[in-house]
Amino acid sequence: MIVLASQSPRRKEIMEQVGLRFLVHPADVDEMMDESLPIPQAIERLALAKAEHVATLYPNDIVIGADTLVCLDKQVLGKPQNAKNAKEMLQRLSGQTHQVITGVAICADGKKECFHSVSDVTFYSLSDREITAYIDSKEPFDKAGAYGIQGKGAVFVAKIVGDYYNIVGLPIAKLMQRLKAYE
């Protein structure tokens, strides 16, 4: 059986979309990034911490952990704490290209495997009115970088280079390729 060690509704939807049968068991782990590591490895380590935690409860199953972050000029933009913080993030992203990095970990058969995916996202220039209306929608508050590409935030995106599903929260094609080793 496959176990998703995440409470993200977006990851769950992506896995359902491709027809995977799985159960969800969110990991209760500290999500502080190790800032001494390069960002891609730090995000992989967070994904691994989630997968390892849940794998102790499901030792005979395939456990998948994931974590996604937004990075602009090598600075991580997490989930906004409040409306002011969301506005600051969206103003920084306006007219810029940023990276969305998702780390994924698989724990199965006594082995651990990690990988990550990077997508470049370029935003149109955003007006204060657009930013305020978006914040008023409440959509930015549970999303890294204060936007969701699969929702109302889609109108901000001028260009994507990379995997769309990575930006949503799970690089599903890359994950499916890796899961072939566990069939």
- Residues acting as catalytic residues: 67
- Residue 146: C-alpha distances to residues 33, 64, 75, 153 (Å): 18, 25, 14, 9
Q: Are strands 62-72 and 2-4 parallel, antiparallel or unpaired?
A: parallel
Strand partners, 116: 103
Task: State the helix-helix crossing angle for 172-179 and 9-17, rounded to 10 degrees.
Answer: 60
Structure tokens at 126: 């955003």
- Residue 130: C-alpha distances to residues 47, 98, 101, 125, 152 (Å): 33, 19, 25, 10, 11
In 144-166, which positions are buried (b, 16+ CB within 10 angstroms) versus exposed (e)?
A: bbbbbbbeebeebeeeeebbebb
Task: State the helix-helix crossing angle for 128-136 and 83-93, rounded to 10 degrees.
Answer: 140
Contact 64, 1 (CB under 8 A): no
